[in-house]
Amino acid sequence: MLFKRFYDDNLAQASYLIACEQTREAVVVDPNLDIAQYVRAAGAERVRITNVTETHIHADFVSGAQALAAATGAKLHLSAEGTKEWGYTSDALERAQKLRDGSQISFGRVRIHAAHTPGHTPEHLIFLVSDLERGSDPVGALTGDFVFVGDVGRPDLLERAAGAQGSMERSAAELYRSVQKFKERPNHLQLWPGHGAGSACGKSLGSMPQSTLGYERLFNWAFAEMSEGEFVRRVLEDQPVPPRYFASMKRINRGVHPISPPREVPRELTSDDLESALKNGAVLIDTRPRDKFASGHIPGTLNIPANKSFLNWSGALVDENRDLYLITDAESQEAVERLFADLGKIGLSPNRGYFGHPVFHDWVSRHGKLEEVDQLDAVQLRGATKEDIQVVDVRGPDEWRRGHLPGAIHIPLAALPDRIGELNSGAPIVLHCKGGSRAAIAASFLKVRGMIKVSSLVEGYDGWVKRGFEVE
């Protein structure tokens, strides 16, 4: 049996290709929109992709399952479990082989057994993989968003991202029962999860690419002995705020969708295009590092640096219904095209092109100067007059619970678009996170929304604590 893992750092997402070395047939599980990578890998290994499937309806990226099956002529397999309202649509299922608890996908000397594991989502399946050359017992399980290294998939997304009111506790209880059933399997079973550290599909995912059931029994909190009520309480506690794009991903991925990787080569736009975009209320993402943005940027632009968190915060803060442009100092056309392709993975499509470094010089020549973001260190903040300053902590719920600055307001960065009305736009605002990166993004977001007296704590919470200042 041939086994290959693909990992997208920007999505913290894993997909897999498994092939029979005799018949040269292969299945791809949980592909993302970059379907070319799977076709290339199959060609390099001299195998044919004959089956495509996924563990569940994904919320954090556009699925590539339909596009890959269409491109390769492979059979598409989708879960027929779950409910009519929150499972795949009937149109999507009509195009696929329906999978239920106990269904199998077999090719050559490989057998994949589907097991229904509701909780993260109602239709969720895991795939138990048997290499029949070695034996009929499964060697491992593709666990999707059911079991991660050190954690389990969050059961609150159906309510918090898709709007299924009152479903969190019920889904958490289903997840508990799925875990209890899964615990009956042998310790040697290898686990190949769908996400790693950095994903918003759980709260404490490990970075290791795989684990075993025996190891997770020892160190994964969800496998400890506890009652259903205790599990429900713990799994729902301190879950991160889901990015706003999760809702649209659910809607897209559960039905038939024609989305395929973008093919248009982005072109560099002019300063006149920039002026027009700003006038028309478009979203302009400045992808430069936070220090460069703070020292000089075009007013009205949002700073989301092009790093591993770029997609997460773009999906959380950008309205998919507004025109979108990028400002970048990328040194190659390939790097620009990669940014466009990455945004396409979460359903965002920048309009026509991008703005390069020349627009900054043109802006200065036309308008006199660039805008800056004020930055404070911990000493300056501690010595400031507190009466009218709003200190806003944009970290996650678990970070806040472990300790925070006295008198701070807690608004996680992903929740800022919905909770901006809680802030007094006329009073000074100081934003902070752990080390400064999220606060810089939040500062630029508030300035785009017209708030003028905005600054960020450059040292973050860690710097405050390191200086020995008080916390709550």
Which pLDDT score is estimated for 166? 86
List of E strands, 243-395: 267-268, 283-286, 302-303, 324-327, 353-355, 374-376, 390-393
E strand or H helix at 278, and its extent? helix 271-279
Amino acid at 9: D
- Residue range(s) of every CATH 3.60.15.10 domain in the chain: 2-253
Which CATH code fits 2-253? 3.60.15.10
Which pLDDT score is estimated for 2? 97
Which pLDDT score is estimated for 102? 98
Residue 54 structure tokens:
């996924």
d(C-alpha 432, C-alpha 405), whole Å: 10
Which CATH code fits 267-367? 3.40.250.10
**Contact yes or no for 280/323 (Cβ under 8 A):** yes
Which pLDDT score is estimated for 259? 66
Which pLDDT score is estimated for 260? 64
CATH (one of 3.40.50.1370, 3.40.50.720, 3.40.250.10, 3.40.640.10) for 374-466: 3.40.250.10
**Contact yes or no for 346/318 (Cβ under 8 A):** no
Distance of CA 225 to the CA centre of its chain: 30
Which residues contact residue 396 at a Cβ distance below 8 angstroms, ignoring those fewer than 6 apart?
203, 238, 240, 241, 412
**If the chain, 472 residues long, is cut into consecutive pieces of 10 residues, what is the mean pLDDT of each piece?**
96 97 98 96 98 97 96 97 90 96 98 98 98 96 98 93 87 98 97 93 88 97 97 95 90 83 78 94 95 95 96 94 92 89 90 88 94 93 81 95 95 96 93 96 96 93 95 94
Sole residue written with tokens 């901006």: 420
- Residue range(s) of every CATH 3.40.250.10 domain in the chain: 267-367, 374-466
Distance of CA 164 to the CA centre of its chain: 20
Give, as one character, the DSSP assignment of residue 269: P
Contacts 24+ apart (CB under 8 A), 130-134: 131/1, 133/1, 133/109
